[in-house]
Structure 1
Amino acid sequence: MGTKASGEVCGECGGRTYLIERRGDRAHARVCTCSARCGLCEGRGYAYETREETFSAKVGPKRYEVLVPCVCQHRARRIDHFNTVGLPSVAAHASFENYRAFNEAQDRARNGAMHFAHHYAKGGVNKGFILSGPVGTGKTHLLAATLKHLVLEVGLEARYVEISLLYATIRRGFQEGKSGGEIIGPLSDVEVLAIDEMGKGRGSQFEMETLDELIARRYNAGRTTLFATNYSLEPERKSVRTAAPSGYRTTEDAKTAARDVELLRERVGERIYSRLCEMCSFVELPKETPDQRRMRQELDVRPGPPPGGMRGPGR
């Protein structure tokens, strides 16, 4: 499967047998046209598998055939699972291969996420990871690439949530007569959960209680959880930059200094932070890491050569 009739690898899916597309605000997977009709079972969904067992020492090993679900059925289930993950549409094409690393820390982050995905032990104990860094540095990209591999290649069930949208979903649920537990329950039980924008929000009692309940349930059940945050993972607040020699500091200077020292520990509280230390490996990208979205925008607006091959002034 994933090949054309000529035996060549499909140029559309690259041999994966599935495609991932942007559909609304979510990433969506579907079977590639090259594999729409399975060549193994001819669309029946089942195939014969030869097995060998010894039922009698006198007779010896005996080979027999059993009817089992075809591999195309396993693929279909994985695609169905992927379409419930909730990955944002903007990350539909995110992969480890197309992640751009601009410094050693980003390279380590990609390698760490890729090692986690490719060495995940099904049924075993798997320590998650938390990525910290400035906006636009590819944290969501790596979460998406990790979940895509785990769901489509390994066969796990996983979910992705952006924390502020989760809070909004629960609030809407209250208006519909649902409890927060009804919404948190599936997120507590899924094998791998990725929580993006950790620490974001107003820090209200409702938000803190929701986050604490979700983390506590997954921690107590030994579930694997991945995180991304814009807040520093440093255990202690570093010294704030000194003021200008005159002692004068503008309002913007004060805001910038405050952002530079904001810690995840302070945003989520000691109880949750302590559990994160046990649940995850910490990976922090330096604040100097460039914003890839901003870089692309600046390249788009950079003036190009004069149209029509015209020479500049004075030539």
Structure 2
Amino acid sequence: MVTKASGEVCGECGGRTYVIERQGDRAHARVCKCSTRCTLCDGRGFTYEVREETFSAKVGPKRYEVLVPCVCQHRAKRVSHFNEVGLPGVMAHATFENYRAFNEAQDRARNLAMHFAHHYDKAGVNKGFVLSGPVGTGKTHLLTATLKHLVLEVGLEARYVEISLLYATIRRGFQEGKSGGEIIGPLSDVEVLAIDELGKGRGSPFEMETLDELIARRYNAGRTTLFATNYSLEPERRAARAPAPSGYRTTEDAKTAARDMELIRERVGERIYSRLCEMCSFVELPKETPDQRRMRQELDVRPGPPPSGMRSKH
């Protein structure tokens, strides 16, 4: 954490030296005003570093100075990389600290994501994770918090993609004369990739081939991949199928019920699912986990107390 010369922590960035804001549909980072003028290099971008090396056994070790990039240049580079990740603007302020857990599974999901982010081994092999659960339970929040830490604090390059938007981007690319490989290529090579809404889509041959190619490339290269999905990971869900309720059901109700019982293995196929089992740790949030967006909406429309001086009628 960086503090001002007075010893106070900056009220805008909290000492992180960068600020994350929402710009349109994307999260955007910038260097905080408190750090735009670096006190170490006085804005030059480079500083001198003292090193020691033995060039001759007779002379012994010698100390010398070399010109190296200042830490402010590393910060600017990380901020630039963050703005290439493609995180959703609605998640601009998502962190591990403001993630609300309502059950043990959500606690486990947060702890898994935090451990992954804070113990990432830049020189080793890192197993990714898959977060499965109902809509509105914070899966994208945790993906965002993880990538934020990896890019801004660890210095990695990462990308975030929502799978149906990736399919749409590739289709548009076809109209512009691009191949799918041109779009998938950068996603295949990036150090950490987060794929949101895994299993979403129509399951067409084009979608399945695109997903299979992307995951196969990353699997073969030993790249780390994170996933979030609304479809269940649990094979036992088949055995737990509830009897059909009596009474009227809309077509949408039937579709939702069918999706709730569908497994991610069925959505992506055995080949991709097998690779997920090797590439990732799994965390499943139970079906009864509350939808946080819905909870906020219900709290917003809840009637408040009557104005002072007015009595309720009985």
TM score, norm. by length of structure 1: 0.95
- Cα shift at 1:4: 2.4
**Which residue does the alignment assign to 1:208?**
208
Q: Distance in 2 between matches of 1:34 and 1:112?
A: 33
Q: Distance in 2 between matches of 1:159 and 1:50?
A: 36
- Cα shift at 1:255: 4.3
**Which residue does the alignment assign to 1:132?**
132
Mapping for residues 43-54 of structure 1, pairs under 5 Å: 43-54=43-54
**Which residue does the alignment assign to 2:60?**
60
What amino acid maps onto 2:42 in structure 1?
E
Farther off after superposition, 252-261 or 26-35: 252-261
Mapping for residues 1-315 of structure 1, pairs under 5 Å: 2-235=2-235, 237-243=238-244, 248=246, 250-252=248-250, 254-255=254-255, 257-313=257-313
CA deviation digits over 1:18-70, x for unaligned, max 9? 00000010000000000011000001000001111122223222211110000
| Contact 1:96–1:142, Cα closer than 8 Å, also in 2 | yes
1:87–1:256 distance in 2 versus 1, CA, 3 Å: closer
CA deviation digits over 1:159-207, x for unaligned, max 9? 0000000000000001111110000000000000000000000001110
| Contact 1:38–1:72, Cα closer than 8 Å, also in 2 | yes
Secondary structure of 2:73's counterpart equals: helix
Secondary structure of 1:81's counterpart equals: helix
Q: Distance in 2 between matches of 1:47 and 1:254?
A: 65
1:234–1:39 distance in 2 versus 1, CA, 3 Å: same
Q: Distance in 2 between matches of 1:133 and 1:120?
A: 24
What are the ranges of 5 or more consecutive residues in structure 1 without an aligned counterpart?
Answer: none
1:23–1:309 distance in 2 versus 1, CA, 3 Å: farther
Q: Distance in 2 between matches of 1:123 and 1:43?
A: 32
Q: Distance in 1 between matches of 2:69 and 2:167?
A: 40
Q: Distance in 1 between matches of 2:141 and 2:173?
A: 29
Q: Distance in 1 between matches of 2:72 and 2:307?
A: 53
Secondary structure of 2:235's counterpart equals: coil
Secondary structure of 1:307's counterpart equals: coil
Q: Distance in 1 between matches of 2:219 and 2:247?
A: 43
| Contact 1:241–1:257, Cα closer than 8 Å, also in 2 | no
Q: Distance in 1 between matches of 2:56 and 2:73?
A: 34
Q: Distance in 2 between matches of 1:227 and 1:203?
A: 17
| Contact 1:231–1:262, Cα closer than 8 Å, also in 2 | yes
TM score, norm. by length of structure 2: 0.96
- Cα shift at 1:235: 3.1
What amino acid maps onto 1:229 in structure 2?
T
- Cα shift at 1:11: 1.1
- Cα shift at 1:226: 0.1
- Cα shift at 1:309: 4.4
- Percent identical among aligned pairs is 87
Number of aligned residues: 311
Secondary structure of 2:48's counterpart equals: strand
- Cα shift at 1:243: 4.1
Secondary structure of 2:143's counterpart equals: helix
| Contact 1:28–1:92, Cα closer than 8 Å, also in 2 | yes
What amino acid maps onto 1:169 in structure 2?
T
| Contact 1:48–1:67, Cα closer than 8 Å, also in 2 | yes
1:55–1:100 distance in 2 versus 1, CA, 3 Å: same
What amino acid maps onto 2:128 in structure 1?
G
1:5–1:297 distance in 2 versus 1, CA, 3 Å: same
What amino acid maps onto 1:71 in structure 2?
V
- Cα shift at 1:128: 0.1
Q: Distance in 2 between matches of 1:4 and 1:56?
A: 44
- Cα shift at 1:311: 2.7
Q: Distance in 2 between matches of 1:257 and 1:206?
A: 26
What amino acid maps onto 2:182 in structure 1?
E
| Contact 1:2–1:13, Cα closer than 8 Å, also in 2 | no
Q: Distance in 1 between matches of 2:161 and 2:309?
A: 50
| Contact 1:238–1:261, Cα closer than 8 Å, also in 2 | no
